Chains A and B, each alone.
Chain A
Amino acid sequence: MSSRLPVRKTYKLFIGGAFVRSESGRYDRIEGDPAAAGVNIPRGSRKDVRDAVAAGRKALPGWAARTAYNRGQILYRFAEALESRAADIGAERADVEASIDVLVHYAGWTDKFQPVLGGINPVAAPFLSFSLPEPTGVVGVVAPDAPPLLGLIAEVAPALAAGNTVVAVLSDEQPLPGLDLGEVMGIADVPGGVVNLLSGRRSELAPVLASHHALNAIVDVSGDAALGAEIDKLAAESVTRVRHTTPAESYEAATGDPLSRLEAVTELKTAWHPVGA
């Protein structure tokens, strides 16, 4: 009977498609999550947030320019990859399965939300005028503690479906499922930088994210009223769009009002093209 020594995973941040240590060199130990016993969780820093936003900004033009069909296929591929890795994710099975279904749901939205949120404007002048939603840009997500995976995916999936890139601050208490996601995206053709995942202390990272002038919108699912107010105040410095919402506890909650989630991360552009002259 050989007693093989298991190979432990070194958890890292996921920035620009790469697994990186926090530039700060800091780590946290998490009490209360048996899966995290003995694990050193990288404690992201101000600089890591900036690097992640820069990575999201860099990846944005390419991701936004993908066809809606292609983005839909990649989100579906993300769901496939998560299904095949379901046993490896450090989250409850129900949490993972609901997350997979949410990805499938939003994979189907990529080429459908435009005509629902926009359309032709019957203007009283000789112009073809239409309004269509476009991605707002780089979207921050301040994830809830629970459910650790679905609470994150419920906000990341609509942002990606609409063509945004994402910087997510993961749960303080259960960051491992979020950190595991990086490995799933790596095999799902999600381009590097489209989703960036930061563990660390929410109270430290979320304000840095909210005040970043290259961030276009932030979705706050922290459930922390004081932090939410701080996010509001910092976001106002560059007119960053803010949405506060409660954690999606189920597939139904994550998909019950998808338009509100999509609206929060899109900008409506109205174009006027001449008809005739």
Chain B
Amino acid sequence: MATQEQRTSITWDYAPAPESPDHVRLRDSYGLFIDGEFVDPVDGTRVPSINPATEETVAEVAFAGSEDVARAVRSARAAQPGWAALSGLERGKYLFRVARLIQERARELAVVESMDGGKPIRESRDVDVPLAAAHFFHYAGWADKLSYGMGGRPVEPLGVAGQIVPWNFPLLMAAWKLAPALACGNTAVLKPAETTPVTALLLAEILQEAELPPGVVSIIPGDGSAGATLVREPDIDKVAFTGSTAVGKNIQAALAGRRIPVTLELGGKSANIVFEDAALDQAVEGIVNGIFFNQGHVCCAGSRLLIQESVADTVVSKLWSRMGRLRVGDPLDKNTDVGAINSREQLERIESLVASGEEEGAVRRTVACELPDRGFWFAPTIFTDVAPAHRIAAEEIFGPVVSVLTFRTQAEAIEKANSTPYGLAAGIWTDKGSKAFEVANALQAGVVWQNTYNKFDPSAAFGGYKESGFGREGGMSGLRPYLKVAS
């Protein structure tokens, strides 16, 4: 049974500080965004999108059927030559417009993102939405400089891109996919995630406001079957997917023999390594950010905490104390640290993996905090006495659950960190510069953060080693998946 401890006696009572949704004007129902218009699905359905914090409907959303997917691809195909024929400067100007419109509607987008996905408003306001705008702004400026980003080679767009994004950063992931694709002269069909389609549809409105030519972007919400249909469409030239490793493998296999470029940004079990010479209080803040940011629904979450033995007890004690002060609850409250779990399905997956951790003998501590009666919630949880073979040390939980392992030497830390099929990210906590560079160099991970975690920037490449996928998003390297060298 779980070891439940009472919250520490010092509690800070905050008055509720909810962000008002008054300025949000959502439609009752959204169609599919195809060829520049919101349209009814031909063979799809209409599904309510649920607020995971209240289980109330945010809006009804059309889900694409296979004919809808085909229709979107046809419109993207028709629009592609004209889009590619625009000068880079003109394409870029459309993207600059989009970036500006996202900034103008930032507050509304942030509120809807938190309503539809359950993430704290502090994060959607300070991270998701500003970074989405920044990505469009960054790639807008690439549109007339593409060959400089490709080592001086002459380049051409690939054509029509099929893009599938996950539910953890719905608007931001849409921006990561669309901005480089469009800058490079491709057109795109984007499928948002099943549980979080609404901000992508607000982005569709923004694309209309920006007067983006019809068909350059279609946005077609749907479930996994719509995504499976999209990647199998014969008339696409590029697939980009962010999501689980299992689905990524299916997509890679489904494209066998097609010879079309694929980018996969998949799961992780990233190591966050705390050395004994780290600034421990700073490290604790970083650990919290690494695993409890966005309820741990982060592909690069620092879910394997590796602590040097000499400081392990101290760090765990400080961390547990800090966890007791995390505010779990209403995502729209500006003081909330940990919001709602994105869906019932994800909650069940977290519960199942946590149960396996207890069964396999790890020691569980879960913060005792009041959770709302409705909605999907999971309180911050730490496992100690974790063995590397435990499922909670090897499998991606994608929730607010951190597994603690220890090490004695730097070599052991590196070996343990690399001992996983994944390779997305890692954190290093030390104040010794040469050590940080040496360890960062030895880690098989696409992103390594020293004395910080979960930092993203449109100018910095992001993507995985090994089974965390291939291809990069962000910066100059984010252009390559959307261009070919001109023959």
Which residues of A are at the interface with B, using a C-beta cutoff of 8 A? 116-119, 121-125, 127, 129, 131, 136, 213, 216, 225-226, 228-230, 232-233, 235-239, 241, 244, 257, 259-260, 263, 267-274, 277
Known: A236-B256, A268-B446, A270-B446. A257 touches B153 (CB 8 A): yes
Give me 15 other A-B pairs in contact (C-beta within 8 A), A121-B457, A121-B461, A232-B258 excluded.
A123-B455, A123-B457, A129-B457, A131-B460, A229-B257, A230-B256, A232-B255, A238-B421, A239-B466, A241-B470, A269-B445, A270-B447, A270-B461, A272-B452, A272-B460
The closest CB in chain A to the CB of B467 belongs to: A239
> B249 to A225, Cβ gap below 8 A?
no
Residues of chain B from 13 to 41 with CB closer than 8 A to chain A in the complex: none
Which residues of B are at the interface with A, using a C-beta cutoff of 8 A? 134, 150-151, 153, 245, 248-250, 252-253, 255-259, 264, 266, 421, 433, 436-437, 440, 445-452, 455, 457, 459-463, 465-470, 472, 474-477, 480, 485
> A127 to B455, Cβ gap below 8 A?
yes
The residue among B248, B449, B462, B469 with the most chain A CB atoms within 10 A of its own CB is: B449
Known: A116-B151, A121-B475. A272 touches B455 (CB 8 A): yes
> B253 to A131, Cβ gap below 8 A?
no
Among candidates B256, B455, B470, B476, residue contacting A119 with C-beta atoms closer than 8 Å = B476
Known: A232-B252, A260-B485. A131 touches B461 (CB 8 A): yes
CA gap between A274 and B429 in the complex, in Å: 11
The closest CB in chain A to the CB of B250 belongs to: A236
The closest CB in chain B to the CB of A230 belongs to: B256
The closest CB in chain A to the CB of B485 belongs to: A257
> A233 to B452, Cβ gap below 8 A?
no
Least distance between B141 CB and chain A CB atoms (Å): 12
Among candidates B245, B249, B448, residue contacting A272 with C-beta atoms closer than 8 Å = B448
> A117 to B467, Cβ gap below 8 A?
no
The residue among B437, B455, B466 with the most chain A CB atoms within 10 A of its own CB is: B466
CA gap between A125 and B485 in the complex, in Å: 33
Question: Please, which residues of chain B bring their CB within 8 A of the CB of A136?
Answer: 465
Least distance between A127 CB and chain B CB atoms (Å): 7
Question: Please, which residues of chain A bring their CB within 8 A of the CB of B475?
Answer: 121, 131
The residue among A122, A228, A236 with the most chain B CB atoms within 10 A of its own CB is: A236
Least distance between A210 CB and chain B CB atoms (Å): 10
> A267 to B446, Cβ gap below 8 A?
yes
The closest CB in chain B to the CB of A238 belongs to: B467
CA gap between A122 and B248 in the complex, in Å: 30
The closest CB in chain B to the CB of A225 belongs to: B257
> A123 to B459, Cβ gap below 8 A?
yes
Question: Please, which residues of chain A bring their CB within 8 A of the CB of B461?
Answer: 121, 131, 268, 270
> B249 to A125, Cβ gap below 8 A?
no
CA gap between A270 and B259 in the complex, in Å: 28
Among candidates A123, A229, A241, residue contacting B256 with C-beta atoms closer than 8 Å = A229
> A272 to B248, Cβ gap below 8 A?
no
> B450 to A273, Cβ gap below 8 A?
yes
The residue among A121, A125, A226, A238 with the most chain B CB atoms within 10 A of its own CB is: A121
- Chain A-chain B contacts (Cβ-Cβ < 8 Å), number: 125
CA gap between A272 and B450 in the complex, in Å: 6
> B477 to A117, Cβ gap below 8 A?
yes
The closest CB in chain B to the CB of A259 belongs to: B151
Least distance between B29 CB and chain A CB atoms (Å): 38
> A270 to B448, Cβ gap below 8 A?
yes
> B445 to A244, Cβ gap below 8 A?
no
Question: Please, which residues of chain B bring their CB within 8 A of the CB of A213?
Answer: 421
Least distance between B361 CB and chain A CB atoms (Å): 28
CA gap between A175 and B256 in the complex, in Å: 28
> A124 to B134, Cβ gap below 8 A?
yes
> A122 to B459, Cβ gap below 8 A?
yes
Among candidates B150, B259, B421, B455, residue contacting A244 with C-beta atoms closer than 8 Å = B259
Question: Please, which residues of chain B bring their CB within 8 A of the CB of A237?
Answer: 249, 253
Question: Please, which residues of chain A bring their CB within 8 A of the CB of B245?
Answer: 239
CA gap between A263 and B470 in the complex, in Å: 11
> B470 to A272, Cβ gap below 8 A?
no
The closest CB in chain A to the CB of B459 belongs to: A121
List, sorted by A's number, 14 A–B pairs whose CB atoms are closer than 8 Å. A121-B460, A123-B455, A129-B457, A131-B460, A131-B475, A236-B250, A239-B468, A244-B259, A259-B151, A267-B470, A269-B445, A270-B461, A273-B450, A274-B450
> B252 to A235, Cβ gap below 8 A?
yes
Question: Please, which residues of chain A bring their CB within 8 A of the CB of B468?
Answer: 239
> B477 to A232, Cβ gap below 8 A?
no
Least distance between A124 CB and chain B CB atoms (Å): 6
CA gap between A267 and B451 in the complex, in Å: 23
Least distance between B72 CB and chain A CB atoms (Å): 25
Question: Please, which residues of chain B bring their CB within 8 A of the CB of A235?
Answer: 252
Among candidates B460, B466, B469, residue contacting A270 with C-beta atoms closer than 8 Å = B460
Least distance between B467 CB and chain A CB atoms (Å): 4
Question: Please, which residues of chain A bring their CB within 8 A of the CB of B437?
Answer: 271, 273
CA gap between A260 and B469 in the complex, in Å: 18
Question: Please, which residues of chain A bring their CB within 8 A of the CB of B470?
Answer: 239, 241, 267
Least distance between A118 CB and chain B CB atoms (Å): 8
Among candidates B252, B257, B455, residue contacting A239 with C-beta atoms closer than 8 Å = B252
Closest 7 CB pairs of A and B: A229-B257, A232-B256, A236-B252, A236-B253, A123-B457, A121-B460, A233-B256
Question: Please, which residues of chain B bring their CB within 8 A of the CB of A273?
Answer: 433, 436-437, 440, 450-451
